[in-house]
Structure 1
Amino acid sequence: MSQTTPADVRVRVAEGPADREACFAVRKEVFVVEQGVDEAIEYDAHDTGSDTVHVLAEGPDGPLGTGRLLYGPAAAGATGGDPGVGSLGRLAVRQVARGLGVGAALVRGLEEAAAQLGLRAVDLHAQTHALGFYERLGYQAYGPEFEDAGMPHRAMRRKL
């Protein structure tokens, strides 16, 4: 693999089955293999839903990261039913791309997609070790810590 630099990273909305499979492969590598998340809970019906946007970060040698945005009815459970709030999730960056700004670029790409959909805010459930990352991007934590997939999380929100 060549040495990827931040200038080499491109983030775009995933289009079609091949892009979605690239997103799923990154998620499997990060969540299932690295973090030990049960593969049976990593993927859900929202992954192919009409109210889901996936973004894909790519470098010269292929996929580097991914994230997804749920909106409308798909986001209702995560956002308290507020139709003006999207739900950012499944943010994953391959180990070889960490430290290149890929995570921040993915979040900004998801926020841009949310704004284009007319959403006024984005919620997310952050692993507690990642709170500082999201805070630097303008997210504010709220509510108590909770467990998801066997790991501690906090809810966070950013107004667009």
Structure 2
Amino acid sequence: MSLRVTETDDLAACHALRRTVFIEEQNVSEAEEMDGLDGEAVHLLATLDGSPVGTARLLLRGETGKIGRVAVLSEHRGAGIGAAIMRKAEEVLRARPGVTRLYLSAQTHALPFYERLGYVAYGPEYDDAGIPHRDMELSLLP
């Protein structure tokens, strides 16, 4: 089995994955999921033996790289695909001049996953699209 995580222009594949995970599985409204920011983002696509299984969206906000819309199809969770997507996201964002911090808004059930990758939660829990979240960050400074 061959897993690849690459930057992509295939928004249709990314949107299909996000639709399955966020809109259909987690009941996020289409208006909230398709927020108009995709045009300014870098998109990652994870493929397993050529089939799309996961995605993420990266946005640049000054010195902060925002990792969002991290999604893996339910039948492929727990196999390291999410971690591979996050490693690629970090690689892409570290290569951007001036980026010193990575930020994400984590669903609270996923906090342990991101903590294992070195992210630290901060601030209170809040609701985003009807799902409890917390902010997390990773410093890129030495």
What TM-score comes out, normalization by structure 1 length?
0.84
| 1:151 and 2:131 correspond | yes
| Equivalent position SS for 1:44 | coil
The 5 Å alignment of 1:1-160 reads 5=1, 8-15=2-9, 19-49=10-40, 52-71=41-60, 75=61, 83-118=62-97, 119-160=99-140
2:38, 2:63 → 1: CA distance?
20
- Counterpart residue identity of residue 63, structure 2: G
Runs of 4+ in 1 over 3 A off after TM superposition: none
Extract unaligned runs of 5+ from structure 2.
Answer: none
Offset at residue 96 of structure 1 (A)? 2.0
**Percent identity for Structure 1 against Structure 2:** 49
Could you report, residue by residue, the CA deviation over 1:95-150 in whole angstroms, capped at 9, with x for unpaired residues? Answer: 12112111011111111111111211110000000000000000000001110000
- Tell me the number of residue pairs that the alignment of Structure 1 and Structure 2 aligns: 139
1:151, 1:44 → 2: CA distance?
17
2:123, 2:13 → 1: CA distance?
33
Offset at residue 48 of structure 1 (A)? 1.3
What TM-score comes out, normalization by structure 2 length?
0.94
| Equivalent position SS for 1:54 | strand
- More helix as a share of residues: 1
Offset at residue 60 of structure 1 (A)? 1.5
Q: Could you say what the CA RMSD is over the residues aligned between the two structures, in angstroms?
A: 1.0
